[in-house]
């Protein structure tokens, strides 16, 4: 952690690390959203699952995906980067599909999920965050040097 | 007793947001004095926990008990994480994280008040 230049505005892109520099912000916001989604789904499922089984199941799925994305982005490296791509990609698909369904097929959603209305209830953070996450993963993609492979 | 405490926390968070934002714009990392300020806000949050526990014990608890304590416990974790990162990340991004952490705590105060009233 002490190897970098203390005054560097951000770490060099392309070293494969996802949790330093601007990545701290990405991980922090993911962690907050993961907590919010986990808390919400735990409460929904514990209190009354039968009210809106589809919405509550989706809340649980969203919570797991956010937790996975947070951990994967915080760890980084060759093992966790593919997990991060998968989790962040799933979120983008989830928020777009569920967002569209929640507006067109309202009868399916008796109660809101994190992804309802494209993340409206969370200031559209669920819609913006995966885009930022994908951009950040692309930006930190490790460069292959001549010594690789 | 309750409302002034909430206001004090929100004012403290607003000060942290401004201070961290200014340092982020100036491309500077978090400094120890900011962490002391964050520590003051954290101490106020601990007082909130005590006040909420005493109120609950004497019969005037939150309308939604589980959600309220979920938010309150979450609130306690946010600033310490930002503080740990301030040591690990000696770039402007520690300032950005402190800014977001203070915003999160302020927003959770708003939710705490909502959930308390029901």
Instruction: Say what the pTM is.
Output: 0.86
pLDDT reported for residue A15: 74
Cα of first residue to Cα of last residue in chain B, in angstroms, is: 19
* Contact between B91 and A28 using a beta-carbon 8 Å cutoff: no
Cβ pair A24:B97 closer than 8 A: yes
Domain ranges of chain A: 31-139
- Other beta carbons within 10 Å of B116: 20
Which among A84, A97, A100, A61 has a CA at the least distance from the CA of A132? A84
Measure CB to CB from residue B97 to each of A1, A8, A28 and give the nearest one: A28
Within 8 A of B81 by CB-CB distance, chain A residues are 28, 31
Cα A4 to Cα A49, A106, B18, B89: the distances in Å are 49, 51, 27, 10
Asked if the C-beta of B92 comes within 8 angstroms of chain A's C-beta atoms, the answer is yes
Is the Cβ pair A39, B70 closer than 8 Å?
yes
Contact A25 B90 (CB under 8 A): no
The per-residue b/e assignment along B64-84, b for 16 or more CB within 10 angstroms, e otherwise, is beebbbbbbebbeebbeebbe
pLDDT of residue A147: 56
Q: Give residue for tokens 């302020």.
A: B106
In angstroms, what CA-CA distances link B94 with A70, B27, B32, B74?
Answer: 18, 10, 12, 20
Confidence of residue A4 (pLDDT cuts 50, 70, 90): very low
Question: What ipTM is given for this predicted complex?
Answer: 0.86
Query: Which pLDDT does position A145 carry in this prediction?
Result: 63
């Amino acid at each position: 952690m002490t190897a970098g230049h203390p005054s560097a505005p951000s770490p060099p892109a392309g070293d494969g690390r996802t949790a330093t520099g601007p990545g701290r912000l990405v991980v922090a916001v993911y962690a907050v959203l993961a907590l919010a989604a986990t808390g919400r789904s735990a409460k929904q499922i514990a209190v009354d699952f039968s009210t809106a089984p589809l919405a509550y199941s989706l809340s649980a799925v969203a919570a797991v995906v956010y937790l996975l994305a947070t951990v994967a982005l915080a760890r980084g490296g060759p093992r966790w980067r593919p997990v991060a791509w998968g989790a962040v990609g799933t979120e983008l698909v989830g928020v777009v599909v569920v967002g569209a369904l929640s507006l067109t097929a309202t009868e399916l959603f008796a109660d809101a999920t994190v992804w309802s209305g494209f993340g409206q209830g969370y200031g559209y953070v669920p819609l913006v965050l995966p885009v930022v996450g994908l951009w950040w993963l692309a930006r930190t993609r490790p460069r292959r040097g001549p010594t690789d492979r | 007793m309750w409302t002034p405490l909430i206001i004090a926390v929100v004012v403290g968070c607003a000060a942290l947001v401004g201070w961290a934002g200014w340092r982020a714009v100036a491309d500077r990392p978090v400094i120890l004095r900011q962490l002391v300020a964050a520590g003051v806000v954290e101490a106020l949050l601990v007082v909130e926990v005590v006040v909420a526990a005493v109120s609950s014990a004497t019969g005037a608890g939150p309308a939604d008990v589980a959600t309220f304590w979920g938010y309150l416990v979450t609130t306690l974790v946010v600033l310490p994480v930002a503080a740990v990162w301030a040591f690990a990340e000696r770039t402007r991004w520690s300032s950005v994280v402190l800014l977001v952490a203070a915003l999160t705590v302020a927003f959770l105060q708003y939710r705490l008040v909502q959930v308390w009233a029901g």
